[in-house]
Copies of this chain bind each other. A is one copy, B any other.
Amino acid sequence: MTRSEENYLKTIFHLGGGDSKSITTNAIAEQMETKPSSVTDMAKKLAEKGLVNYVKYQGVSLTDSGVKTALSIIRKHRLWEVFLVEKLDFSWDEVHEVAEQLEHIKSEKLIDKIDELLNFPKYDPHGDPIPTKDGKFQERDKKLLSEMAINATGVCVGVKDSSVPFLKFLDKNKIALGNSIKVLDKEDFDNSLRIQLEGKEMRISHQIASNLYVKKND
By a beta-carbon cutoff of 8 Å, the part of chain A in contact with chain B is 84, 87-90, 94, 97-98, 101-102, 105-107, 109-110, 113-114, 117
A105 and B102 contacting across the interface, CB-CB below 8 Å: yes
Top 5 nearest A-B pairs (CB, nearest first) are: A88-B113, A98-B107, A101-B105, A98-B110, A102-B105
B105 and A117 contacting across the interface, CB-CB below 8 Å: no
Chain B's nearest CB lies how many Å from the CB of A209? 32
Chain B residues, CB < 8 A from A113? 88-90
A106 and B101 contacting across the interface, CB-CB below 8 Å: yes
Chain B residues, CB < 8 A from A101? 105-107
| In the complex, residue of chain B having the shortest beta-carbon distance to the beta carbon of A107 | B98
Tallying the copies of this chain within the complex gives 2
A98→B117 CA distance, assembly (Å): 17
In the complex, 19 of the A-B residue pairs with CB atoms within 8 angstroms, ordered by the A residue number, are A84-B110, A87-B117, A88-B110, A88-B113, A88-B114, A88-B117, A89-B113, A90-B109, A90-B113, A94-B109, A97-B107, A98-B105, A98-B107, A98-B109, A98-B110, A101-B105, A101-B106, A101-B107, A102-B105
A84→B98 CA distance, assembly (Å): 18
| In the complex, residue of chain B having the shortest beta-carbon distance to the beta carbon of A94 | B109
Chain B residues, CB < 8 A from A117? 87-88
A18→B74 CA distance, assembly (Å): 40
Chain B's nearest CB lies how many Å from the CB of A195? 34
Central interface residue in A97, A105, A106, A110, by most chain B CB within 10 Å: A110
Chain B residues, CB < 8 A from A97? 107
